[in-house]
Structures are given as C-alpha cells and as structure tokens.
A and B are shown apart, each in its own frame.
Chain A
Amino acid sequence: MQRNSRSSSSGWIVAWIAAAILLASSLILAASDSAPDHIPSLVAWTPDTIAIASSGDAFRGLLLAKRCDHCHGAEGFSSTPSTPNLAGINKLAIWKQLEDFRTRKRLSHAMDPIAASLSPRDEADVVAYFSKLPVFTDPQDNRAFPEPRPEPAHAAIASRLVSFGDGERGIPPCQACHGPVAYRPGVPSLATQNTGYVLNQLEAFANRTRANDINEPMRTIAALLTEDERHALAEYYGSGLGLEPGGATGPK
C-alpha cells in the first residue's frame, strides 16, 4: 500500500516536470521570430553515418547497378554530358547524393524515383560498387575524356583557381576539398568528372536551384565565380587536366 502511494507521488512529480518542460518549450517556440528552418540536407557526417555509408557490399552493388548503366555507363563513365561519371568517386560523396535524392533535398526528375526505390542497404551497396570501378588514369583515353583540351587561356584561368583559388575574392582552391590535395567527407573527386556535369552543377549552385550543400560552401563559391571561370573549370576537369602531373600547377 505504502509502495503504491510512493510510486503514484513520484508519478505526479514526473508529470509536473513534463508539464513544465512542455510549457517552457512552447514559450521558447513562441518567442523565436524565425521562419521555418531551411535544411539543406538531412545527412550529417557523424561517425554512425560514415559507418553506414561505407558498409556496402560491392558485389551486391554490381547486380543492383545494372539499371544505372543506361545513363551512367557500364564502366561508370556516362555518355551524356548532363549525367555524372561515377567510376571511382568516393563512397560518401555518392551516398550523400542518393540520400538527398531520396529525401528530396536535391531534385532531379531522373534520380528521385530511382533513389526512392532503394533501401538503405541498397544505397550503401551501389555506392561501394561505383567507388571500386577503375578510373582511367590516361587523359588521352577518349572513353573517359571525350572533351578536347581547353584553349590555353581558359586552362590557365582554371588551373590557377584549382590550385590557388583567388584570395582577393575569398575563393578557396578547388583542390583543397575536391582533391587531389585534400578531401572532406561527402565531397566528390572532380579529376575524372565530365564537362557538362561540372558546368551544370556550378550554375545550379550559383542560381541556388541546387541547394543541398551542407553550410552552403558551394552556393557561395559558385556565386563568386564569373560565367567564364565556370566554363573554364568545367573544361579543365572534363578534359582530364586535373590528372596530368603539370595540370595542377598549370602551364608554365
């Protein structure tokens, strides 16, 4: 009997605390004047997320990836300029985009239904497969780099931006995040990407039609670049200059 009364009184205390918390949180919500939050991506690079994204089975991914061949190419090099090359792109980068397509943080007519049909395990497996595909290291190989080399003036603009950025305007060097100097979680390597895709994405970031970059680094940088610089960068990566020994430092 005594026990019962004690537990019921502790129950009352819990109820009072819960009520107080509810009241306080509703007051805080009422006091804040901000509009609903714009959340760029539901992905956060916690150790758990990284473990999930890199736990895939590449062989199962190979079977699932048959349906990707049509656009992304059987060897991970796409034949259409608006579709990205996926061969050798690191796991976290592809995984984040699949996740963003699935949660509709990045919009694409082609990819939204495909990503929505994948289970979390499928996503990790497909990603593991594409990241293991060999990258063509020979820039003369036309399968990977169908683009002609850019004109020297354009190549010079691009290689300067890639290796040094532009300190005056506060543009960091591309290679500090997109490799080969350094990478961040979820940032793709660009050295084997195609011209059309790089250009499309730079323009989409600048117009903010693509807004799934966490803490908006790419929206900021793309908006700082001029039209000409965006073209030069796309041509630089698409023609394989990023892979050449002298490509990173630019023509002498």
Chain B
Amino acid sequence: MLIIRPLQESDLDALYAMAQSAGKGLTTLPADRDLLLRKIRHSRDTFDQRCAPEAGLYLFALEDTGLEECVGISGIQARVGLDEVFYNYRLSVTVNASPELAVHVRTPTLHLSNDMTDTSEICSLLLSDSHRGGGNGLLLSRCRFMFLDHFRKHFSEKVFAEMRGVSDQDGRSPLWDALGRQFFDMDFTDADILSGLGSKSFIAELMPKFPIYLPMLPDQARAVIGRVHDNTAPALKMLQAEGFNFNGLVDIFDGGPVVEAFIHNIRTVRDSFDRTVMIRSDRAPASTSDKGTFMGASGQGARAQEMMVCNGSFKDFRITTLPADCISIDTISLSKEVARALEVEAGDRVRIAPLKDASVNTIYSGRDSNHAGKSFGA
C-alpha cells in the first residue's frame, strides 16, 4: 500500500538518494545531507506546530508500506518571500504609439517583481524511479491540494508553482546565457544551486533591476520565456487540469512559467466530498459486501476509479488511494489495515477526491451539493 504522510527524519537516506538521482534540475532539493536534514526538521516543526504558520514548510512523503520506505516527496511552502526576497520577472507589454507616425509597436518587457511574496507555493516534487507511473506522481502532487483544502487558514487564498524552464542536456539555459550571465559571470547551474541553497541575496545584488526590453535579447532566449522544460510538460499539464494558469510571471533564471490557482477553484478541492468511515470485516471482498456500492464513471466491468482518501489530521496527515467502489452514499468502507494506515476509526469523517482526471461520476457530485440544494430550496 502507498500512503502519504508527513516526512520524518528517518526518511533522510531515501530522500538523499532521490535528490542525487534527480540531478541538477531540482533546485529546491539539492543533494546536500545537511540541507535536507534541516528541511526535514523544519517540516517536522511545522506539523508539530512549533513554528509560526506563515513560516511553515510542509513536506509529504509517499511511503511504500510494503518496503517501509519513502519513495517520493512533495511539499508546500506556507509563504514565500518572508525571510528572503522572492523574485520573478513579470512579462508585460510596453506600447509605443504615435498616430502621427502611424507607429503602434508592442514591446514585451520583463519587469523584476516580488509579486508572489506572501503566497503559498507548492514545490519539491520528487519521485523515486522505481515508483514512476501508476498515478504515483499524481498522488504526490494532488495530496497537497487536499491538505491545502483542509487547512486553508494556514495558507494564502492563492497557491502557485514555479515550473522548470528550458535548458539543454548540459544544463545550459538560453535565457540565462543571454541575460543572467551578462550580470553574474557564472553558469546557470551554479547560480541555480546557489539559489536553491537559500542564498538569495546575491540575486538582489547582481540581477538587473531595470526592465528588460525583450527585442534586445536573441531569438533563442525570447523563445523560452514562459516555456517549460520537456520533462516538466506532464507536471504542467497536470496542474492545468487542476485549474492552474500561467499568471504572467517567469523565473528570473530560466524563464520557466509560474502557474497559480485559487485554492477554492482547484479541481481536486472542488471535486472532493466527505464520507463516514465504516470498517468492514477483512474477510468479505469490498465489491460484494455492500449493497450500496457505486462504480466509477467507466461503469461495470471496468476497473473502478482510483480515489484519494484523506484523514484530515493536521499533525498525522494521511492519504491513501482506494477504488471508488468502496464508497457508498454516506459511507466509505475501509479494511482494518487501511483504516489503521489512515489512522481513522469507524464513524470518523474522511475526505475523498478522484486521483485521475477522468470525469467524476455524478454521484460524487461534491460536498457542496447539500448547500446548493438548500439555497435553491430543493
């Protein structure tokens, strides 16, 4: 069974191994044991509520309970730009117009901005090679939306993700070569690592602060602004399916886009609903024990839709996935083993959301349907 839970210090070795194999692309999790340990401790303090909510770093582990090992990680930073300054370029337009000259020229322009300051960021998604596929990446990403939904008061209304921009196999970024390098005199990867290590003040000290008129940059640099790295395209697609959109900001180093969404608009959040836990006898198979079983949208015979089931605990947050056919109108039936893993008992409420993008059966019409019914007097 795969389960999402808060990251622990005992996960350090597994995390280090994953960070090492991820290579240079992932700057928020460099393969540096001390730094990773600091991050884990920060996350522990956050879940134990030993640090201010706005300073929180929530790191989730995907644990394979069979292996008793962490095989993936994802995170939420409660607020960015508090200790350090958080930089992006805003891609805007300068219009140069003169009726007398019949000139109307639009010049795309990059403005250095700190617009994401005080906003929650989803970050640090890493999945072990052995567990790629089968919706594990989706689970790691979407588990965060269930957490955000449960504990909205700890986060900003809006949440964003920085997507990795374009670079070649050698880690060379066309935008960096045309822009950043002119001011830094160092390689993209070195600068990116420095940035990941948390030393961000150098950015403020060295980056150009005046707007950059894009026509002055070479074509290959302009072409990558707002574009994602090929490896990140699936992640972008997934976030777009959740309702995230490009917000006009790009990474100051590689030009990768920032995508954002309001938490209440995120699809996982909108499609989630609550059910009461029923513990079923382990002997009876799920699909026949319960007369009120509903199948996924794919209908009889096909495999039931995978659902994320979340216990709603802050400190001991847990999510696992189950087939939709264990859900009935008011209840969800869990095996003892699953209930133990989720740390729930019979009668507890759990929140459920579809794992994959397939359209949700109308039966799971969302937990707000009751409210809607009331307001329309139905």
- Is chain B found bound to chain A in the same assembly? no
